Amino acid sequence: MTPSQIVSALNSLLSIRQPVFIWGAPGVGKSQIVAQVAQARGLALRDIRAVLLDPVDLRGLPRITEQGLSVWCPPAFLPTPSDPQEGIIFLDELNAAPPLVQAACYQLILDRAIGEYRLPDGWSIVAAGNREKDKAVSYRMPSALANRLVHPECDAHLDDWLSWAQGAGIRAEVCAFLRFRPRLLHDFDPLKAEKAFASPRSWEFVSRILDARPHADVEYELFQGTVGSAGAAEFMGFLSVWRELPTVDEVLSSPASAMVPLEPAALYAMCEALSLRASAETIEALTAYAERLPSEFGVLLMRDAVCQDTDLVHTEPFSRWADKHAAVRM
């Protein structure tokens, strides 16, 4: 399932308080999806790393009452009636936890209780973890626990990632590169003993590294340590093209005469950079420049511009362009 499909599935399952376990390769964005859904629904989120727990951690600690009886005090990370009425308990890396910890979680998932503790009615349980074939740290999940969960599997998807990247401040050159080389969004081979590999998470790191403006003589090493040697080499080649392109301001000020790149990599880069400046003030220049691009790249530029600002479809320049290119547009 794509990330957007996982979001839709989670919304349905949360509405009926059905426990769910999201499977996926490392770095595919499982934790981020859960946080995104919680924020969109206005739910509190308790992120519990099951792999860091001991079996007794979920039970809490006992205390002696005035009557000489022992009662269990639940841990602070579990919600109580004084917490928000609705929320998600997120058991991340549940299948990486030792079997005894999984057994403790089993009672919480099955009975919504551990000992005397009761999970408030408005709270749901979501878990996530890597697949056994990913060669990550994992224990086989007991069949009794697995049978209490719904098991969607999440795969990386470029369009979903690009939609997220637009609002997350991911740099335009990273987005443009992945449009050009979509296979490198998630290039993970569990049979290779590589420390670094390309994933949605690691490309976010690349964007943050670029924000830090590293010196040219360490750029490649930083990228290699983030997305692996193959991804870093291709990205460095793309960056050299990106940095030779005319600036967005040059194109917007002179769309009829600004340079039009010939290489596909450069065209992807140019379209990505221009689309980020799409607005009612720039749409006239964007459509003029799009007319000079190869048809498929003109469509790409206009499609991304509309994604940036949907009101552009009602402008006169866009309407003229759309009528002229009705046979090839979106």
C-alpha span between 165 and 280 (Å, rounded): 22
Q: What is the mean pLDDT of the chain?
A: 89
What value does the mean pLDDT take over residues 302-323? 91
Question: How does DSSP assign 68-80, residue by residue?
Answer: S-EEEEPPTTS--
Give residues with Cβ within 8 angstroms of 63, minimum separation 6.
Answer: 70, 71, 73
What is the C-alpha to C-alpha distance for residues 110 and 281, in angstroms, rounded to an integer? 57
Question: Domain locations in the chain?
Answer: 3-154, 169-244, 245-330
What is the pLDDT at residue 193? Answer: 61
Length of the chain measured in residues = 330
| Chain segment 249-275, per-residue pLDDT in tens | 999 999 999 999 888 888 988 998 899
Q: Minimal CA–CA distance to 308: which of 264, 265, 259, 248?
A: 248
**What pLDDT, on the 0 to 100 scale, is given for residue 198?**
94
pLDDT at residue 328 greater than cutoff 70: no
Concatenated DSSP letters of 270-293: HHHHHHTT-STTTHHHHHHHHHHS
Helical H segments across the chain, by residue range: 3-15, 30-41, 99-111, 143-146, 158-168, 172-180, 200-211, 216-242, 248-253, 264-275, 283-292, 295-308, 316-324
> What Rg, from alpha-carbon coordinates, does the chain have?
25
What is the pairing mode between strands 44-49 and 87-92? Answer: parallel
Rounded Cα–Cα distance for residues 108 and 116 (Å): 11
Q: What is the pLDDT of residues 8-35, one digit of tens each?
A: 999 999 999 999 999 998 899 999 999 9
For the segment 203-216, the average pLDDT, to the nearest whole number, is 95
- CATH classification code of 3-154: 3.40.50.300
Question: Is residue 108 scored above 90 in pLDDT?
Answer: no
The pLDDT assigned to 244 comes to 84
Angle at 17 between CA 13 and CA 18, to 5 degrees: 55
Q: Phi/psi at 72 (nearest 5 deg)?
A: -95, 130
Beta-bridge partner residues of 89: 46, 125
Please say whether the beta carbons of 220 and 227 come within 8 A. no
What's the pLDDT tens digit per position in 40-98?
A: 999 999 998 888 888 778 777 778 878 878 777 778 888 988 888 899 999 998 888 88
Angle value at C-alpha 274, between 204 and 305, nearest 5 degrees: 90
What digits encode the pLDDT tens for the residues 127-176? 999 887 777 777 788 888 888 899 999 999 999 999 899 888 999 899 98
Q: Would the pLDDT of 312 be above 80? A: yes
**Structure confidence at residue 146 (pLDDT):** 87
Q: What percent of the chain has pLDDT over 90?
A: 55
Check residue 194 and give its pLDDT: 77
